[in-house]
């Protein structure tokens, strides 16, 4: 308000230096306007804008760096996943192989056992057969004596005491037995 | 231009006029140090100090202070310079545009900030000084880019009938050398000048009615003060807008000089 009053006072007294029309510039103000704008421009162009642009560039780099880092981490995670998957597949394959091997081993063991059992059975059969053979031989020998005596007894009863001669008896019996023996061996073979 | 509104109590109300803006502080005459010159110089010191202080330690992740400066800088850099001039050449004009915008904005805001309450740009010398830089820069970059002949040739759009070319050339010459700088300076000056005169009128008028008027006029002074407040808020909008428009037009003129086609 005071300024307004001042201005009013000034307007009545003619002011030298101030143009009558407000659209005409005051020289002093024009000079100040130019000089101080140059100062501001110099400071902004030399200091403020370079600082801000540098920071912008750093920020862009930081953001790009972060993106890169994230991408790398993702790639690493992907690689790890692939590795785990491969390991899992390996383990699964190994387990399969082990199972297969076990099955094969089991089959082999069963086969072996079966073979052993068969062999045992065969051995037992052979033994039994041998024993039977031996017993048969023994029986045969006994029979030979028995049959010989019985036959001799029978013959001596029929023919008489004369045939009791030792030598003749043995020869006859032997011959008879040899004949007898030949027949069953042929049939047994 | 003094309006006689009231003649009550033997005192007359003098409405604000162009003389209101003449406030010499030191000396007199053409080289007097005036109040707006001091305000303008102080605004440069203030802006430079704030910008240097705020950008002293810039972080990639900004703090509150940095964010504010970045917002204003980003508005000029990306919203004006890059969008208008184009991403190829804009960076070297950012200091000019940023200086213009901050300087005009702060000086405009001084129009409603107590105790200054003086929009520096209502003195034609200051918009004119700024326009001078814009004028020199857009002619200079145009001539540098296209050569002197090429620059003048580029003013006329291609594909015109031959007989119309001289006429258009004259019009464009007028546009480039008279219309653009004059309108650029006058738009800013006029807005600030008129806005300030209206504010002064309302505030002084209300005060005068309150102090010297009768009961009825005292009552009328209340809506007048209210209106002054509303207009102050409106001034704030205009101040922002004019700073933005001046910078935008400066960028547009530079872009026009740089453009290959008219």
SS3 content of chain A, % helix, strand, coil (to 5): 90, 0, 10
> How many CB atoms are located within 10 Å of the residue B226 CB?
12
Question: Taking 70 as the threshold, does the pLDDT of residue B112 lie above it?
Answer: yes
Identify the residue with better confidence: B249 or A139: B249
Q: Where are the alpha helices (DSSP H) in B75-212?
A: 94-109, 125-155, 165-174, 180-212
Residue of B nearest to A11 (CA): B19
Distance from CA of A83 to the nearest CA of B (A): 38
Which residues does B90 contact at the CB level (< 8 Å), separation at least 6?
A: B77, B81, B82, B84
Question: Which of A72-81, B99-108, B211-220, B248-257 bottoms out in mean pLDDT, i.e. has the lowest?
Answer: B211-220
**What is this model's ipTM?**
0.88
Q: What is the DSSP string of B135-165?
A: HHHHHHHHHHHHHHHHHHHHHSPTT--GGGH
Q: Which of B59, B98, B193 sits opposite A49 (nearest CB)?
A: B98
List the one residue out of B151, B130, B131 whose CA is nearest residue B140: B151
User: How does pLDDT run along chain A (189 residues), one tens digit per residue?
Assistant: 445 444 444 444 445 667 777 888 888 889 999 999 999 999 999 999 999 999 888 888 989 888 889 999 999 999 999 999 999 999 999 999 999 999 999 999 999 999 999 999 999 999 999 999 998 888 888 888 877 787 777 777 766 655 556 777 778 778 888 887 787 554 444
pLDDT band at B110 (very low <50, low <70, confident <90, very high): very high
Distance from CA of B148 to the nearest CA of A (A): 26
pLDDT the model gives residue B236: 94
pLDDT the model gives residue A173: 77
Domain boundaries, chain A: 27-188
Question: Taking 80 as the threshold, does the pLDDT of residue B40 lie above it?
Answer: yes
How far is C-alpha B202 from the geometric centre of its chain's CA atoms?
22
Chain A CB contacts of B23 under 8 Å are 3, 6-7
Residue B24, beta-bridge partner list: B34
Tell me the pairing of strands B24-26 and B33-34: antiparallel
Question: Taking 90 as the threshold, does the pLDDT of residue B1 lie above it?
Answer: no
Please indicate whether, in this complex, the C-beta atoms of B48 and A4 are within 8 angstroms of each other.
no
pLDDT the model gives residue B126: 94
């Amino acid at each position: 308000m005071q300024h307004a009053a001042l201005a009013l006072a000034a307007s009545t007294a003619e002011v030298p230096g101030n143009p009558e029309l407000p659209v005409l510039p005051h020289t002093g103000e024009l000079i100040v306007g130019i000089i101080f704008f140059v100062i501001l421009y110099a400071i902004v162009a030399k200091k403020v804008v370079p600082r801000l642009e540098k920071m912008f560039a750093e920020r862009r780099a930081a953001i790009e760096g972060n993106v890169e880092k994230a991408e790398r981490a993702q790639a690493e995670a992907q690689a790890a996943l692939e590795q785990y998957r491969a390991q899992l597949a390996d383990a699964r394959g190994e387990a399969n192989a082990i199972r297969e091997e076990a099955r094969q081993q089991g089959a082999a063991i069963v086969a072996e056992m079966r073979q052993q059992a068969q062999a045992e059975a065969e051995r037992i059969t052979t033994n039994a057969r041998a024993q039977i053979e031996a017993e048969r031989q023994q029986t045969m020998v006994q029979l030979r004596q028995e049959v010989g005596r019985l036959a001799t007894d029978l013959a001596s009863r029929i023919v008489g005491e004369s045939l009791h001669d030792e030598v003749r008896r043995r020869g006859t019996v032997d011959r008879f037995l040899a004949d007898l023996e030949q027949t069953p061996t042929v049939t047994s073979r | 231009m003094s309006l006689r509104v009231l003649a009550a109590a033997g005192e007359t109300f003098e409405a604000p006029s162009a003389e209101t803006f003449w406030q010499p502080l030191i000396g007199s005459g053409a080289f007097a140090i005036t109040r707006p010159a001091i305000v303008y110089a102080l605004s440069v010191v203030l802006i430079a100090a704030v910008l240097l202080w705020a950008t002293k330690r810039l972080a990639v992740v900004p703090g509150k202070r940095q964010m504010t400066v970045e917002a204003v800088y980003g508005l000029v850099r990306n919203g004006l310079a890059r969008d208008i001039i184009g991403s190829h050449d804009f960076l070297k004009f950012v200091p000019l545009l940023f200086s213009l915008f901050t300087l005009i904005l702060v000086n405009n805001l001084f129009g409603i900030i107590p105790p200054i309450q003086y929009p520096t740009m209502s003195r034609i010398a200051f918009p004119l000084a700024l326009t001078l830089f814009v004028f020199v820069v857009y002619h200079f970059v145009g001539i540098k880019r296209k050569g002197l002949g090429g620059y003048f040739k580029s003013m006329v759009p291609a594909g015109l009938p031959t007989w119309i070319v001289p006429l258009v050339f004259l019009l464009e010459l007028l546009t480039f050398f008279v219309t653009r700088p004059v309108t650029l300076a006058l738009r800013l000056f006029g807005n600030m000048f008129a806005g300030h005169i209206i504010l002064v009128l309302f505030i002084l008028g209300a005060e005068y009615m309150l102090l010297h008027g009768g009961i009825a006029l005292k009552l009328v002074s209340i809506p007048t003060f209210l209106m002054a407040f509303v207009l102050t808020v409106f001034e704030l909008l205009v101040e922002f807008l004019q700073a933005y428009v001046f910078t935008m037009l400066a960028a547009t003129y530079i872009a026009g000089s740089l453009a290959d086609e008219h």
